[in-house]
């Protein structure tokens, strides 16, 4: 909805800059956009001076700024709403002008629900959904078209599962878990024994437990444990196309970027961060607060709070030192060749001097 600058300032608990008092009651702002895309009827934000370059081509009608940034020359070109945290204020405005589309409550007539399944109040069950024997769906859940929920699954309240995601039997999802499209939760772990010249499957009889506020990205997979559960701790966010193998134990509030692969029985503490395409070997533990850079190949435990990068992963400072040394190899090779030439010249000169020396 459209509001004046003054009304938006009140909405986010901010104040209008003194220089902008003349028109704050008349100028209407009805959208929110990045500084690069904002137009005269949009609000944009400046989080800190490090992103000041983003204002060079900005045409926003009003700018959210911190008190300490309001006097920056680049920021002075805009109407200003001064707030303690511009990004938080921007998100609040964005949610108001662009509300999330919520599906209507009720069960679609094409959904296939086993008679023993339990559906809580105020749920949305979309077309073609399949809910298995003994499954429990908590209050206020959104189950989008094509979702399959296996027998014995238990969903807490306000769980959201987007189209075509699959929950194998006996998965446990706590309150406010979000599963994006085409994710697979509870598939068999990759467990085999090689015997008598062939692979023999090891039964995967555990389950998956996603704690409250976990989010699983599109196309991601979290495999069931072989005996006990594969666990993802509260608040952990897993990006698209991530593989969490059987028996993994993830802590709370981890952030795992796209295409990470965690092998069986690996584990994390709380607040661990993994950048894209990190690969983690089996039975490795990443301790609380550690960070892994993109494409890191993790083959041993990572100490708490440390940042490791590279293949194989090692402490950031060590890996950078190794990288810089490697980059110098061509120059070192050229220098070595030059030294070898100088040595040969000196040897030749010395040999030329020896007869004269002996004669003297």
Domains in the chain: boundaries: 3-97, 106-317, 320-354
CB neighbours of 52 closer than 8 A, spacing ≥ 6? 46, 72, 74, 75
Beta-bridge partner residues of 221: 184, 243
Contact 193, 199 (CB under 8 A): yes
63-91 average pLDDT score: 94
CA distances from 176 to 1, 158, 159, 179 (A): 28, 5, 5, 10
Lowest mean pLDDT, pick from 73-87, 305-319, 338-352: 338-352
In the predicted model, is pLDDT for residue 306 greater than 80?
A: yes
Mean pLDDT of the chain: 93
If you average pLDDT over residues 315-336, what whole number do you get?
Answer: 81
| Residue 358 pLDDT > 60 | no
Same CATH topology for 3-97 and 106-317: the answer is no
> Which residue among 53, 246, 253, 299 is the active-site one?
246
Mean pLDDT for 233-247 is 98
* % residues pLDDT > 90 (the chain): 81
Among the four given CATH numbers 3.40.50.11540, 2.60.40.10, 2.160.10.10, 3.75.10.10, the one describing domain 106-317: 2.160.10.10
Cα separation, 215 vs 237, whole angstroms: 5
Sign of the torsion formed by the C-alpha atoms of 54, 31, 24 and 14: negative
104 band by pLDDT with thresholds 50, 70 and 90: very high
Q: How far apart are CA 310 and CA 293, in angstroms?
A: 7
Per-residue pLDDT at 357:
52
pLDDT at 344: 86
Active site residue 246: yes
Q: Is the dihedral of CA 310, 315, 318, 321 positive or negative?
A: positive
- HSE-up of 289 (CA within 13 Å, CB side)? 4
Quick: pLDDT tens for 141-192. 999 999 999 999 999 999 999 999 999 999 999 999 999 999 999 999 999 9
Which pLDDT score is estimated for 10? 95
Specify the pLDDT at position 346. Answer: 86
Q: What CATH code would you report for 3-97?
A: 3.40.1390.10
């Amino acid at each position: 909805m459209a509001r004046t600058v003054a009304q938006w300032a009140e909405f986010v608990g901010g104040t209008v800059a003194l220089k902008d008092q003349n028109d704050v009651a008349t100028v209407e702002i009805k959208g929110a956009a990045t500084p690069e895309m904002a137009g005269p009827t949009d609000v944009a934000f400046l989080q800190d001076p490090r992103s000041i370059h983003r204002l060079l081509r900005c045409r926003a009608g009003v700018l959210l700024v911190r008190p300490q940034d309001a006097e920056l020359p680049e920021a002075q070109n805009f109407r200003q709403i001064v707030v303690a945290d511009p990004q938080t204020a921007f998100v609040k405005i964005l949610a108001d002008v662009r509300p999330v589309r919520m599906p209507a409550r009720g069960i679609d007539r094409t959904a296939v629900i086993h008679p023993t399944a339990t559906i809580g109040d105020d749920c949305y069950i979309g077309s073609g959904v399949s809910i298995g024997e003994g499954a429990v769906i908590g209050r206020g859940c959104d189950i989008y078209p094509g979702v399959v929920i296996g027998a014995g699954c238990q969903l807490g309240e306000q769980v959201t599962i987007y189209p075509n995601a699959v929950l194998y039997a006996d998965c446990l999802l706590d309150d406010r878990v979000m599963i994006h499209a085409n994710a697979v939760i509870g598939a068999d772990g990759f467990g085999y024994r090689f015997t008598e010249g062939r692979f023999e499957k090891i039964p995967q009889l555990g389950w998956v437990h996603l704690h409250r506020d976990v989010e699983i990205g599109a196309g991601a997979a979290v495999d069931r444990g072989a005996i006990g559960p594969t666990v993802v701790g509260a608040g952990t966010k897993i990006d698209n196309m991530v593989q969490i193998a059987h028996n993994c134990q993830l802590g709370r509030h981890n952030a795992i970027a796209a295409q990470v692969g965690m092998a069986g029985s690996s584990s994390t503490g709380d607040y661990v961060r993994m950048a894209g395409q990190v690969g983690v070997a089996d039975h490795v533990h990443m301790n609380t607060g550690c960070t892994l850079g993109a494409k890191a190949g993790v083959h041993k435990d990572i100490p708490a709070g440390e940042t490791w990068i590279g293949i194989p992963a090692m402490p950031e400072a060590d890996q950078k030192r190794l990288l810089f040394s490697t980059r110098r190899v061509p120059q070192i090779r050229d220098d070595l060749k030059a030294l070898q030439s100088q040595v040969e010249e000196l040897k030749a000169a010395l040999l030329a001097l020896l007869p004269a020396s002996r004669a003297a």
